[in-house]
Amino acid sequence: MKVAIASGKGGTGKTVVSTSLAWLLAQDGHQVTYVDADVEEPNGHLLLRPELTEERRFSVLVPALRGNSCSGCGECQKACEFNAIVALADRVMVFAELCHSCGGCLLACPDEELIEGPREIGTLAAGFANGESKMAFRSGTLDVGEARATPLIAGLLKDVPGDGIVLVDAPPGTSCSAMEAVRDADLTLLVTEPTAFGLHDLRQTVEMCRTLGRSMAAVINRSDLGPDRVRSYLEGEHIPILAEIPFMREVATAYAHGQIVAAASAPFRDLMATVASHLLQEVKS
């Protein structure tokens, strides 16, 4: 079973919830893979402190001229929907950051002058969290300055073994990269907070999940810090609320010290146990 943990905005506690759930389920004897797909700012490793067994660079394919026989006909430029290739008099200029690796320009070139070559955009890592053999760890890290996180997330998720429980810590927001992370999830767990910003971004995330046809459940973090608007909205949308986590100083302290919060705080652990139990019901159903 694959569960994506998502949020409309950063800072809602998504990584605290996902790392705690991963730890709790592994402690309970389940085979768990935690996947940090928040590739622009991965931080699950700060809490899980994994022992890495593999790190490798990840590349996408971008076009380049094969030789010196380009006629400058411009067919490749016309074929590119992303303005990533420009034909000059006798050569082309490729803007690799804009290229979506679709291969359209190669097909369009009448003289087969274009070839594809690799371009590194990030790093994929694999290992085990906290030495827990039952908790596998995967993460992706996008290179600084890279614009397109989606191919790296797709590459990260492609390599994740399908057995056991896979928890995907998704990027915040509703961009292409967030959609890529929740696209194949059996359930999307929305982590939100009762603020005007939280509600605004939650609405967009719910819309994204509906567009993708994903089932949803929610956790309200810092539930006592604002009015009931988020709860009312979720109830109105018939999205089950699996836990409401009040502000707890011990949670903030554990997080500040880089600890797995469920391991450090018994009240938080109990709330996460309720969420984990719901996830396990999903596995059985």
- Residue range at the interface with ligand SF4 (CB under 6 A); choices 32-40, 92-100, 156-164, 188-196: 92-100
**Angle between helix 266-284 and 14-27 (nearest 10):** 70
Minimal distance, residue 88 CB to ligand SF4, in Å: 8
Closest C-alpha to 125, from 21, 25, 179, 51? 51
In this structure, the number of other CB atoms found within 10 A of the CB of residue 250 comes to: 13
Q: Which residues from 179-238 bind ligand SF4, rule CB under 6 A? A: none
Is residue 240 a contact residue for ligand SF4 (CB under 6 A)?
A: no
In this structure, the number of other CB atoms found within 10 A of the CB of residue 49 comes to: 14
- Residue range at the interface with ligand SF4 (CB under 6 A); choices 84-92, 135-143, 178-186, 274-282: 84-92
- Residue range at the interface with ligand SF4 (CB under 6 A); choices 6-14, 45-53, 71-79, 207-215: 71-79
Q: How far from the centroid of its chain's Cα atoms is residue 253's Cα?
A: 26
- Residue range at the interface with ligand SF4 (CB under 6 A); choices 15-23, 34-42, 98-106, 150-158: 98-106
Is residue 111 a contact residue for ligand SF4 (CB under 6 A)?
A: yes
How far is it, in rounded angstroms, from Cα 246 to Cα 268? Answer: 9
Q: Which residues from 51-70 bind ligand SF4, rule CB under 6 A? A: 63, 70
Nearer to ligand SF4, 70 or 275 (CB): 70
How far is it, in rounded angstroms, from Cα 265 to Cα 250? Answer: 7
Minimal distance, residue 75 CB to ligand SF4, in Å: 4
Nearer to ligand SF4, 72 or 118 (CB): 72
Is residue 10 a contact residue for ligand SF4 (CB under 6 A)?
A: no
How far is it, in rounded angstroms, from Cα 209 to Cα 172? Answer: 13
The residue count of the chain comes to 285
User: Can you give the three-state secondary structure of 123-179, one letter per residue?
Assistant: EEEEEEECCCCCEEEEEEEECCCCCCCHHHHHHHHHCCCCCCEEEEECCCCCCHHHH
Nearer to ligand SF4, 24 or 114 (CB): 114
Minimal distance, residue 1 CB to ligand SF4, in Å: 35
Nearer to ligand SF4, 82 or 247 (CB): 82
Secondary structure (3-state) at 198: helix
Is residue 121 a contact residue for ligand SF4 (CB under 6 A)?
A: no
In the complex, which residues of this chain contact ligand SF4 (CB under 6 A)? 63, 70-76, 79-80, 82, 84-85, 87, 92, 94, 99-105, 108-109, 111, 113-114
